[in-house]
Amino acid sequence: MKKGRMFAIGIAVIVAVAVVSGLTTMAVSSSYGSQDDPLVTLSYLNETVTPAIKEELGAILDERLTAMAQELGISGDVTDPSQGSTEPSGFAVLTLNAGQTVVCGVGTEIMPRIGSVESVGPDYPRLIDEAGSETVGDEGVVLSTNHMYMVTINGNGVRALEDFTKILIRGEYTVEDPAQ
């Protein structure tokens, strides 16, 4: 019985060595995965996979940014302050430099956030402070941060007193730069 068992183990070892040798010989003789015939080509990665990943990530980012903007009540990203107007349902963030003037249409709302701005315009009253229920009648009045102001006469607005002043704005407006 011992001899039969040793014989079976010997046969199993010989078969295993033969199978491993055969597979190794096949792998060496074939060119799969070699420099000349890779499993995945670089052009496939560059032309198919990478653009698909970029497109999918871009869609996910756009979706998440839109959701965040809706939560914050901001519509649109105005990178060039001279763009013009925002959607009536949301605010845009404007970054102004000292001396730039935002001339607004009737009903435009402005909230100073960072820096300081003053009231400007040809007609009295310049603005209405919605938070304090007060009239900003005179030109040159420095507006309070985080107060919502409404323009009641076409052509009135605000002027930035510092560089990198940020305001939230909703409605029709144009930005005038004194340097132009």
State mean pLDDT over 7-22.
77
The chain-wide mean pLDDT, for the chain, equals 77
Query: What is the model's pLDDT at position 130?
Result: 79
Decide: pTM greater than 0.85.
Answer: no
CA distance 92 to 85: 9
pLDDT of 120 strictly over 80:
yes
More confident residue, 63 or 87: 63
Residue pair 128/135 in contact (Cβ under 8 Å)? The answer is yes
pLDDT of 86 strictly over 60:
no
Length of the chain: 180
Q: Name the residue among 177, 135, 173, 143 with its Cα closest to residue 156.
A: 173
